[in-house]
Amino acid sequence: MSSFSDRYGLWALVTGASSGIGRGFATELAHRGLHLVLVARREEALTDLAASLPTETRVVPADLGTEAGLLAVEAATAALDVGLLVASAGFGTSGAFVDAPFAEERAMLDVNVGAVLHQAHHFGCRFAARGRGGMILLGSLVGFQGTPYAAHYAATKAYVQTLAEALHVEMKPRGVDVLSVAPGPVATEFADVADMQMGATVPVSTVVEQSLQALGRKQTVRPGLLTKVLNAGLRSVPRWGSVRIMERVMGGMTEHQRGT
């Protein structure tokens, strides 16, 4: 644990920390001795989490889909020696693309892509200047091919994946580790928000543990046996075929929306 803080410093920033994967990362990093800046929209949930952690915390309630929210995070971390960014804030939508309210899809773009761009650049510059640091960017298994009935969500995760892959190479000589985390279905509130019905899922603890093990060692991690099985199945067919497979998978998860 001491070697982890030696590598990345005493402070980590975790976005989307109020629940799910972000909360899991925050809890594990605190038990590894890192102080935390916790970011999400739900202040009460962040405050409750902060009270349960064994290290120093700063709570920043912010909507990362807005410029004000992004600037609030910058201001809250300006005087701290943050060395690790865990960009896990995000949400998904599902169903037919043309039936979705545009405002909701635009809001998802702002959070899943715009906020990741902003923070990867801002903290990437800081980490490069200090000569060490790490960034964990939360992608998804759906980001490796088009995914019908989650078309735009998958596209946002494709952005995260390609950005992380490139930054992994660019930032390594500057002492900065960059990792893309690309899980399959995970046991979080995500399905409820996205109006999807999931079957088997990967535990949050598995995602967190395998991601922290991979940081500095791999470019991309696909945590959990379920994710690895799904990935192997998708890689064994041409890309057009993987799109068709995902059409069936997501079609089943969103069948209730169509009343069939």
Note the helical H segments in 9-91: 20-31, 43-52, 67-77
How confident is the model over 167-225, as pLDDT tens digits? 999 999 999 999 999 998 776 655 555 555 555 678 899 999 999 999 999 999 998 76
**What does the pLDDT read at residue 93?**
87
pTM for the whole structure:
0.88
Among residues 72, 69, 159, 156, the alpha carbon closest in space to that of 108 is found at 156
Residue 112 CA, distance from chain mean position: 8
**What does the pLDDT read at residue 202?**
82
Dist CA 45 CA 53 (whole Å) = 13
Residues with pLDDT less than 50, the chain: none
> 3-state class of 11 per DSSP?
strand
**What does the pLDDT read at residue 3?**
74
**What does the pLDDT read at residue 5?**
81
**Which residues are tagged catalytic?**
153
**What does the pLDDT read at residue 104?**
94
